[in-house]
Chain A
Amino acid sequence: MPASQSDLLQGTLDLLILKALTLQELHGMGVSRRIAQITGGAFDVKAGSLFPALHRMEEAGWLTSFWGESETNRRAKFYALTKAGKKQMHSESERWKRISLAMATALRTT
């Protein structure tokens, strides 16, 4: 069952977007589909969350955008990671690993 948006932990969406963009630049829908793919369909990010996040992250300097051509030959806005974005992803994923380890440990304890 896909997690609804409100179940996303604060910061999770950011990290997922950063992760989705590590291999290649993508347009909005591409990001959404890539997240669904890498999370095995657990997260279906809707436009109402996706676009505000993309714009916010671009303003923060983690992403940069450019107009390119989509697979359907349509003009679309593509997003790519910046240097700051890569750094952000590393520190965020470190943090996330610590949290998930801690959570896993906590849940294992009986």
Chain B
Amino acid sequence: MISRLRALWNSMFRRKLLDRDLDEELQAYLELVSAEKVREGVSSQEAYRDARLETGGVEQVRQRVRDIRAGGSLDRLSQDIRYGIRTLAKNPAFTLVAMATLALGTGANTAMFSLLDQVVLRLLPVSHPEQLVIVRETGNHYGNRFGPNTVSWPMFEDLRDNNQVFSGMFCRFPATVTVGYGDRAAQIPAELVSGSYFSTLGVGTALGRTIAPDDDAVPDSQPVVVLSYSFWRSYFDSDRTIVGRTIALNSHAMTVIGVAQPGFDGVELGDPASVFVPIMMKTEMTPHSDGLKDRRRRLSWVTTYGRLKPGISVQQAQVALQPLLHSILEMEVQQPEFTRNATAVDRQLFLRNRVELLPGSDNELRDYMRRPLWLLLGLTGAVLLLACANLANLLLARATAREREFAVRLAIGAGRARIVLQLLVESLLLSAAGAALGLALAFLADRILLRIYLPADAAAEFVVSPIPDGRVLAFVVGVMLLTSLVFGLLPAVRGSRTEITLSLKHRSGAHSAGGISLRRMLVGIQVALSILLLIGAGLFVRTLRNLQTLGPGFPTDHLLTFTINPSLNGYSDEETRSFYERLNVNLQTMPGVASVGFSTMPLLKGYAWQNAVLGKDFEGAPIEEQPVLNHVGPDYFATLGIPIVAGRAFTAQDVGPSKYAVINETFARQYFPGRNPIGQRFGLVDEMEPTSPDIEVIGVIPDRKYRDLRETPPPQAYFPYFQDAHFRFMNIYLRTHADPRQIEDEVRERMRQFDPHVPVVELQTMNEQIGFSLRTERLVASLSGIFGGLATLLAVIGLYGVMAYVVMRRTREIGIRIALGALRSSVIAMIMREVFVLIGAGLLAGFLLALALANLVRSQLFGLSPRDPLTFIGSAIIITFAAGLAGFLPALRASGVDPTTALRNE
């Protein structure tokens, strides 16, 4: 072992010395042999010659000894690399094109992969994140639910205290709070956490201590807060004396007890929390809603996490938890809040609910981004494949041109394996250079992509690390090796098959039959892939256009919107009501503002308040979808430009005791079919008390989109906001006379003067908001468009290369044809026939592929089928035209062949 290492060391660093020794050793051998011969009676001159002959070439012996030395293969490799660099440097045009192609291909893939990694694949930055699971109840949820993976507080307690499978459990609830420190106020995301949160996650602090179980034992008892590291840095300038100080959260004095470890921003990736507060402080953090103290069993609001005991699989835990959940459900159906309004069918369905464990890093953002990002990675993969095909084509052409060089090397004794290796080394050099460039490109691209993708404030928190992490590096290296194999192996193997005599005899390699069918096949694959990418691009671009042109159904120009929440400043219901009334008057008198609309639920942000309704005429009728509800101000419909098609809108006089509603056409059609909806009554189902139909319909509006642009308008009902008992969030819509961006600053200033303690949140124009909500569609459409264009370009270049080569090879034949009287047009037709056969085969393959893959993109499309004929035909026309043109140039050149020159050249 040691002797081998020493040998390796020597051969790497003392090669000169070793070589000198070897020379001397061989020289001595020669002399000894010739001395022997002299002794046998041969003349000394002849003896030396005989000795050399017998040795069989001193140089060969030397080379064989060097090859056998430790690190001999390294030696050869470094030789190959140096030779490869020289060869590539001699052909700068080829090298640059190849490197740029590879850089684009690898870069695009790396950018997509690291985005996918950061947004979808990465696990939480906690100890053993793979053990962490979200515990959720699936099936027929009865009651109210905030968020898809939530359970009620009492259910969390039951699960925590009675399970056998978790080493620890915790729960959390995300909230928005107003922070006050000094004279500054801001709205920040907070995480309300149970006492076991930090210990179960295994997350520590940079300063101070974490929230402990003792902090979370008695409601309202421990006003303490842990800051996230990034929030501590940005808001408190990394002030190390912050621990022990008091800050105001929602106007409650809270003591800072610690700063969490760097990099930990809560358990929802992409949605970082700035502060962590014991969940027992919920009343203070979320005024007007309290699922903690009223202990309603069917009010689901906490996301519950468990850490699996070592050795227990997700499957085992799921099975073990099911009886526990069932016994909890059995108890819950006996509770009055269940029995009050539930039917026997409800009960039956409810008891079939099951426990499901999700990976701890799952969340809505991930669910939402997973498909588009995988799709884009697939597209970039196809582009890379295409780039590889192009390079393989280029290398094949080069291999043909280099046949003489290979023949010479073979003739002086290089093995074919050595030539394959040499060519592979060249490919690897190319792809390594491409990958290095691509990595830089990917870093830039990711910054831009994340900026498009995330809201401005989140993008700042969501730092893309400039140093690629291990997974991304592994990905890049993998892509590099794979590409160099894909594009390098075929040409390398072909190159090594050079026939020595044949190649040396001809002046150049242009006449060998080298790989033309192979190259045709590569071009066919390129056409197929690019038609696939073009179809994809067409589908996504048209989806985006459909969404943009269809719009939400009301005019979105000249509309400015923002959100406020005075209740977070500790304002009582009465104070908040008066705040809104005064604000309404104040904004109406603002110059440049035509009208002001208020609504408690935001439009087109994906949120909805849904509730079951009942009425005399539709009790027990099966309802497909619960209606979407909203509390709005008097001028809401007028401000948004939604007409009233029957009845009237609200007025400021519609204040209790009677309740009124404006509904949309779908609501009218579903609940009051065939009747005049005006004057009909319905009620909202409330599990706390029996419901009566006490709301009167006074107006009908046309169907408009509510949650997002993709939806079919759901049944909707609107109530006057002053009928609402509690005032919390308010979304304010301003219809302006001119470009709304011009008055953004004035609005901010006016709001600051109106009440400096209430921060204005998400001030933007409606078009900006809609633009942001379409960011995924825009990202997919623009990237797939770029990739489609790139793919077409690559395919066209590939086709041109092959056809030019074909024409060059057939110059003699074409010359003879022309000499025998063939028309130039028929020569063109002959070449073009070949071009169209290639394109046609590619198109056919591409179409079949696109039809087969249609289902993968169906959910990403809007307003058209994934097999949309128009898109297919359009893409086919583009490819046929572009590729046809690329084939026409060589055809034209063929038709211009001068028969005498062509024949003389032979």
Contacts and interface: CB of A to CB of B under 8 A. Distances in A.
Contact of B64 (A52, A59, A77): A52
B113 to A, nearest CB: 43
B68 interface: yes
A72 B449 CA distance: 79
Contact of A77 (B28, B31, B36): B28
B31 A46 contact: no
Contacts of A55: 22, 65, 68-69
Interface in B37-92: 54-57, 60-61, 64-65, 67-70
Given A27-B28, A27-B32, A46-B55, A77 B69 contact: no
A58 B69 CA distance: 10
B4 interface: yes
B329 interface: no
A61 interface: yes
A8 B67 CA distance: 20
B56 A72 contact: no
Interface string A65-98: 0000010101111000000000000000000000
Contacts of B2: 61
Contacts of B768: none
Contacts of B68: 52, 55-56
B33 interface: yes
Nearest to A59: B7
Contact of A61 (B4, B33, B55, B64): B4
Contacts of A60: 3-4
B17 to A, nearest CB: 13
Nearest to B64: A52
B21 A72 contact: no
Contact of A51 (B24, B25, B70): B25
A99 interface: no
Contacts of B32: 27-29, 70, 72, 74, 76
A48 interface: yes
A75 B31 contact: no
A102 interface: no
B29 A47 contact: yes
A72 B28 CA distance: 10
Contacts of B25: 28, 51, 76-77
Contacts of A46: 54-56
Nearest to B35: A72
A75 to B, nearest CB: 7
Contact of B28 (A48, A52, A59, A75): A75
A47 B22 CA distance: 12
Contacts of A47: 26, 29, 54-56, 61
Contacts of B65: 51-52, 55
Contacts of A72: 31-32, 35
Contact of B4 (A28, A48, A59, A70): A59
Nearest to B57: A48
Contacts of A52: 61, 64-65, 67-68
A61 B22 CA distance: 18
Contacts of B70: 59
B52 to A, nearest CB: 10
Tell which of A28, A59, A70 has the most Cβ of chain B within 10 Å: A59
A85 to B, nearest CB: 11
B816 to A, nearest CB: 51
A28 B29 contact: yes
Contacts of A70: 28, 32
A28 B31 CA distance: 12
A9 to B, nearest CB: 18
A86 to B, nearest CB: 15
A4 to B, nearest CB: 12
B74 to A, nearest CB: 14
A48 to B, nearest CB: 5
B40 to A, nearest CB: 13
A29 B26 CA distance: 10
A58 B56 CA distance: 23
A56 B55 CA distance: 19
Nearest to B56: A48
Contacts of A59: 3-4, 7, 69-70
Given A29-B33, A56-B68, A61-B3, A51 B61 contact: yes
B7 A51 contact: no
A48 B60 contact: yes
Interface string A34-65: 00000000000011100110011011110000
A74 to B, nearest CB: 6
Interface string B224-237: 00000000000000
Given A46-B55, A46-B56, A59-B4, A74 B31 contact: yes
Nearest to B10: A59
A6 to B, nearest CB: 14
A55 B68 CA distance: 8
Nearest to B11: A59
Interface string B6-20: 010000000000000
Contacts of A51: 22, 25-26, 29, 61, 64-65
B140 to A, nearest CB: 74
A104 B36 CA distance: 37
Contact of B21 (A48, A61, A77): A77
A46 B56 CA distance: 8
A38 B409 CA distance: 41
Contacts of A58: 7
A28 B29 CA distance: 7
A48 B61 contact: yes
Tell which of A46, A51, A76 has the most Cβ of chain B within 10 Å: A51
B89 to A, nearest CB: 34
A81 B818 CA distance: 79
A72 B30 CA distance: 12
A109 B56 CA distance: 41
A47 B56 CA distance: 8
A14 B25 CA distance: 19
Nearest to B4: A59
A34 B25 CA distance: 18
A88 to B, nearest CB: 12
B555 to A, nearest CB: 84
Nearest to A29: B32
Contacts of A27: 28-29, 32
Nearest to B31: A74
Nearest to A33: B36
Nearest to B70: A59
Contacts of B21: 77
Contacts of A77: 21, 24-25, 28
Interface in B320-364: none
B64 A74 contact: no
A100 B22 CA distance: 36
A59 B32 CA distance: 25
Nearest to A30: B32
Nearest to A46: B56
Interface string A11-29: 0000000000000000111
A59 B29 CA distance: 20
B58 to A, nearest CB: 8
Tell which of B26, B32, B60 has the most Cβ of chain A within 10 Å: B32
B4 A75 contact: no
Contacts of B28: 27-28, 70, 74-77
Interface of B: 2-4, 7, 21-22, 24-26, 28-29, 31-33, 35-36, 54-57, 60-61, 64-65, 67-70
Given A47-B54, A48-B55, 5 more contacts: A52-B67, A55-B22, A59-B70, A76-B25, A77-B25
27 contacts: A27-B28, A27-B32, A28-B29, A29-B32, A29-B36, A47-B55, A47-B56, A48-B60, A48-B61, A48-B64, A51-B22, A51-B25, A52-B68, A55-B22, A55-B65, A55-B68, A59-B7, A59-B69, A60-B4, A61-B2, A70-B32, A74-B28, A75-B24, A75-B28, A76-B32, A77-B24, A77-B25
Question: What 4 A-B pairs are tightest by C-beta distance, nearest first?
Answer: A61-B3, A59-B7, A76-B28, A52-B68
